[in-house]
Homo-oligomer: A and B are copies of this chain.
Amino acid sequence: MKRHRSGEVWDFELEMPMSRDACDVILGLDGGTTSTVCICMAAMPLSNQSSDTVPVLARSLAGCSNHNSVGETAARETLEQVMAEALMKSGSNRFAVRAVCLAVSGVNHPTDQERILNWLRDIFPSHVKLFVQNDAVAALASGTMGRLHGCVLIAGTGTIAYGFTEDGREARAAGAGPILGDWGSGYGIAAQALTAVVKAHDGRGPQTMLTSSILRALELSLPDELIGWTYADPSWARIAALVPVVVSCAESGDQVSNKILLDSVQELAASVKAVVRRLGLCGEDGRSSFPLVMVGGVLEANKRWDIGKEVIKYISKDHPGACPIRPKVEPAVGAALLAWNYLMKESEGNLGR
């Protein structure tokens, strides 16, 4: 553990007593491609499984911490800074930390985990318990209050389904990016809508309300201009931002938009079903209950054409035991709860010995 580093992120600790008297804390971190959130939570037993009682002491925010996008050095600096800020805001320091759970996108293999664990070992005292996970795992934990059981479906710009059995087996479906078929995602929906506009324009497809709505949203005058628009900046998030336009066209009765959303529902449901089937989450009789955590802009229940609700309907047909949960806390809190649960299991294990 280093007391001083370039950038002096830990200087605030010099002005505080570096003692073990402070209230013990846990750090939970959710690192995505757009932003990174870190929360500092008091390490105390939760009175019940309710989100109202989570003792969050501080929250800090930073940019991208995906090493694939910004490189290893920048990712590491961002992670260190956002954790230091959360500790400083909570009036705490590194000696008070009992556990850290980093849930970051781009963690797919044990080698990714090991590399990030090494960074953390360099920052924290040796008594601190360290956990590294894929960000989908924190999203699951945000719905189950830290319990790793069930399946999470994330559908924002991208999409992934990720599940765990109670005995620790895991499986995922989708999450491989748009080239590799994440068609239920926000990007997928918007790309299909753009395609529908081009096809209506060149005579390959039926006319659709999407043409005028999308051109208006993008401040373009002709469908031909969409070619230049997509080439100018093919970032997935920019394209996915068109999802609300598709939803509102579908709500106005546009058949093409309706079909695009129905296809998306089937794709998203197929991801969850694949995970549930592989893990046997619905039990031998097919009726066991399991948490189904729903996260991401595409699944938000604020529209008449409710994609999330339709996905649940499709899944429930095959798996009536699916218990849909829309998390009330953010994934960073899920990560902290995950760390807390690991700690509890470990101390139970120690008591048993």
Residues on A close to B: CB < 8 A? 68, 108-109, 171-174, 176-177, 179-181, 191-192, 194-196, 198-199, 202-204, 224, 226-227, 230-231, 234, 239, 270-271, 274-275, 277-278
Contact = CB atoms under 8 A, between A and B. Distances in A.
A203 B274 CA distance: 5
Given A173-B204, A204-B270, A230 B179 contact: yes
B224 A177 contact: no
Contacts of A199: 181
A226 B191 contact: no
A176 B226 contact: yes
Contacts of A230: 176-177, 179-180
A246 to B, nearest CB: 15
Nearest to A199: B181
B270 A177 contact: no
Given A180-B230, A181-B198, A270-B204, A224 B191 contact: no
The 7 A-B residue pairs whose C-beta atoms are closest, nearest first, are A181-B195, A203-B274, A173-B202, A204-B274, A180-B198, A179-B230, A176-B227
Copies assembled: 2
B202 A172 contact: yes
A262 B29 CA distance: 47
A239 B179 CA distance: 10
A68 B232 CA distance: 10
Contact of A180 (B68, B173, B226): B226
A311 to B, nearest CB: 14
A68 B230 CA distance: 13
B274 A202 contact: yes
A231 B277 contact: no
A108 B275 contact: no
Nearest to A270: B204
A8 B194 CA distance: 46
A29 B174 CA distance: 44
A350 to B, nearest CB: 35
A138 to B, nearest CB: 20
Given A179-B191, A234-B179, A203 B108 contact: no
A76 to B, nearest CB: 20
A203 B203 CA distance: 36
27 contacts: A68-B231, A108-B224, A171-B203, A172-B202, A173-B204, A174-B198, A174-B202, A174-B204, A176-B198, A176-B227, A177-B227, A177-B230, A177-B231, A179-B230, A179-B234, A179-B239, A180-B191, A180-B194, A180-B230, A181-B195, A181-B196, A181-B198, A202-B271, A202-B274, A203-B274, A203-B275, A204-B270
Contacts of A231: 68, 177
Interface centre among A204, A230, A231 (most CB of B within 10 A): A204
A204 B153 CA distance: 14
A203 B68 contact: no
A181 to B, nearest CB: 3
Contact of A203 (B173, B181, B224): B173
